[in-house]
Structure 1
Amino acid sequence: MLELEHGFRVVDVHARLDPDDGAVVASRGRDISPERLQREMHQAGVVQSAVAPGPRPAGEGYLRANNAVARLSVDRPFRAMARLDGPRDPRDTAVARLRNFAAAPDDHHTDPGDVEQYAYDSRLHGFVLDPVHDGLPTEATLDQIAAAGEPVLVHAGRGYPPAAVAETVLSDDFPVILSSFGGYPLDRALMDEALELLDSYDDLYLDTAFVRFRDVLERGLLEHPDRVLFGSGAPDTHPDVGVMEVLTLDVPEDLLDRALSKNAARVIEALAPGEHA
């Protein structure tokens, strides 16, 4: 694609960097090397990107993948975030609640000590939860996340809707970035539900990845100008697509600037101007 030309500083809170054992290509979705991801971000005018590994096979855990992403982010415009897993079932069913009552982490699951170690690693700048694929961490682990005070990107959607996020994560004291306005894939009702939650939770933010409804994006920026953050969803989609969707919204230029850069820099400090990995 041709390089986009615009006058905005753009940072991305939602991208995937998925090294294989040789730290070369992604293992899920659109295969892409770190060099190509960096090039595509440059083409879209994205100056910094928060990145985390994608899903790993069950039972593998994320320690190696998180360390690999942190290593690959050095000397690149990437800000690594640690992906966490856990033993709890995020579904709101009687069976899930029964299982969660006695849920205990396996050796590969993230524990409070892991979170403490990640928090003190200067190469890592936050956490990522995908409860549908990875399960929810234990309450003790969530408490350690709160103690760390780092932002958490939460993958939400039909399998883990905004209401479930409110019940399981938003009661803890840390900034939460809800991916895709909480409505992946393209569930307008869930996106509206997430927008309503912004009135009740001061530490809740929404990212724009895969939100293809212009009116939903415009409503978010007009009603909550400080709570919408640009997320590309790369490499599953080219970052050009996400940037153009935001740039063409019918909102004041100041609101575009907030969504593309200023809001993210307040939530993920490593994305602020002048910050380096």
Structure 2
Amino acid sequence: MLELEHGFRVVDVHARLDPEDGAVVASRGRDSSPERLQREMHQAGVVQSAVAPGPRPAGEGYLRANNAVARLSVDRPFRAMARLNGPRDPGDSAVSRLRNLAAAPADHHTDPGDVEQYAYDSRLHGFVLDPVSDGLPTEETLDQIAVAGEPVIVHAGRGYPPDAVAETVLSYDFPVILSSFGGYPLDRGLMDDALELLDSHDDLYLDTAFVRFRDVLERGLLEHPDRVLFGSGAPDTHPDVGVMEVLTLDVPEDLLDRALSKNAARVIDALAPGADV
């Protein structure tokens, strides 16, 4: 694919890197290796990307995967994020609430000590939660994330909608980046719900990965110009696609600049100018 030519500095808050002894891994979607991901980001004009491992098998924790992503990010334009898991069911049904009353962390679940260790690791720059795939961490673990104060990317959608995020993760004091406007896959109603939440949650941000609705993206940028961050969703989609979707929006150029770089740099320190590779 030809390299995109545009005059913007672009950083990506939503990319996946699945390392396994440095080999190519396809846990889902397209095959991805650090070299291929770096090449595709370069083609799209993306100068830095926040990366985290994809889902691991049930009963397997994320310590090794997080450390591997951090190691493979060195000397590359990647900023590693630690993926966390937990024992709690993210659903809001009576069954889910009952299960959560008896939920006890297993050895492979993230605990407060793990979060403290990640927070002091200079190779890691925030956290990723995907409660539908990984479960929701305990309240004690979320408390420790608040102590760390690092940003948290939260995968939301039909199994963990924006209103559930508001009742759980958004009650803590740390920046939250809601992936895909909270509506993956292509649920416009949930995206509208997430946009409404921006009015009442100052530490909430939305990333653009897989949104695909021009009017939703334009509404987000026009109504909340400081709260929308570019996310590609790579490698499940080529980052060229996401960059072009933002570049072709009918909004002023300064809003594109905010979405593509400036907003993310305020939320994730490691994506700020000065460390571009």
1:275 Cα deviation from its structure 2 partner: 3.2
Contact preservation (8 Å) 2:83, 2:129: yes
Deviation sequence 1:45-104 (CA, Å, 0-9, x none): 000000000000000110000000000000000000000000000001101101111211
The separation in 2 between residues aligned to 1:135 and 1:250, in whole angstroms, is 38
What CA distance in whole angstroms lies between the structure 2 residues aligned with 1:106 and 1:21?
26
Residues in 1 aligned to 2:204 and 2:93: alpha-carbon distance in whole angstroms: 25
CA contact (8 A) 1:19 1:26 kept: no
- Residue 110 of structure 1 aligns with which residue? 110
SS of 1:153 mapped into structure 2: strand
For 2:4 and 2:129, locate their aligned partners in 1 and report how far apart those are by CA, in whole Å. 31
| Equivalent residues of 1:13, 1:51 under 8 A apart | yes
Per-residue deviation, 1:251 = 0.1
Q: How far off is 1:24 after superposition? A: 3.5
Kindly provide the CA deviation profile for residues 154-213 of structure 1, in whole angstroms up to 9, marking residues without a partner as x: 000011000000001000000000000000000000000000000000000000000000
Deviation at 1:29, TM superposition (A): 1.6
Contact map agreement 1:129 1:136 (CA 8 A) in 2: yes
Per-residue deviation, 1:26: 3.7
Secondary structure of the structure 2 residue equivalent to 1:80: strand
Q: How far 1:23 moved relative to its partner?
A: 4.2
Give the whole-Å Cα distance in 2 for the aligned partners of 1:275 and 1:23. Answer: 26
Mapped contact 1:270–1:276 kept (Cα < 8 A): no
Distance 1:188 1:164 in 2: 17
**172-181 vs 98-107, greater mean Cα deviation:** 98-107
CA contact (8 A) 1:20 1:26 kept: no
1:80–1:124 contact (8 Å) kept in structure 2: yes
SS in 2 for 1:35: helix
**d(CA) in 2 for partners of 1:143 and 1:212?**
34
State whether residues 24 and 31 of structure 2, in contact with CA within 8 Å, keep that contact through their aligned partners in structure 1.
no
Between the aligned partners of 1:29 and 1:223, the Cα distance in structure 2 is: 33
Gaps of 5+ in 2: none
Q: CA deviation at 1:110?
A: 0.1
Correspondence for 2:128: 128
**Kept after mapping to 2: 8 A contact 1:20/1:27:** no
State the 1:5 CA deviation.
0.1
3-state SS of 1:170 partner:
helix
The count of residues paired between Structure 1 and Structure 2 equals 277
Contact 1:19 1:27 in 2 (8 A): no
How far apart, CA to CA, are the structure 2 residues paired with 1:276 and 1:45?
12
TM-score normalised to structure 1 length: 0.98
- Shift of residue 27 of structure 1? 2.4
Separation in 2, partners of 1:233, 1:27: 14
The 1-side partners of 2:112 and 2:47 are apart by: 32
CA contact (8 A) 2:178 2:205 kept: yes
Q: Any stretches of 5+ residues in structure 1 without a counterpart? A: none
Structure 1 residue aligned with 2:22: 22
Shift of 1:276: 6.6
Shift of 1:144: 0.1
CA contact (8 A) 2:228 2:263 kept: yes
State whether residues 50 and 80 of structure 1, in contact with CA within 8 Å, keep that contact through their aligned partners in structure 2: yes
1:33 Cα shift? 1.1
CA distance in 2, matches of 1:33, 1:16: 10
Structure 1 contact 198–204 (Cα < 8 Å) conserved: yes
Percent of aligned positions that are identical? 92
CA distance in 1, matches of 2:126, 2:276: 15
Paired residues of 1:16 and 1:54 also in contact (CA < 8 A): yes
Query: TM-score, normalized by length of structure 2?
Result: 0.98
Q: Is the 8 A contact 2:47 2:276 kept in 1?
A: no
Instruction: Give the match's secondary structure for 1:116.
Output: helix
- Give a deviation string over 1:191-247, Cα, whole Å, max 9, x none: 000000000000000000000000000000000000000000000000000000000
- Check whether the contact 1:246–1:256 (CA below 8 A) recurs between aligned residues: yes
SS of the residue 2:171 aligns to: coil
Partners of 1:16 and 1:53 within 8 A in 2: yes
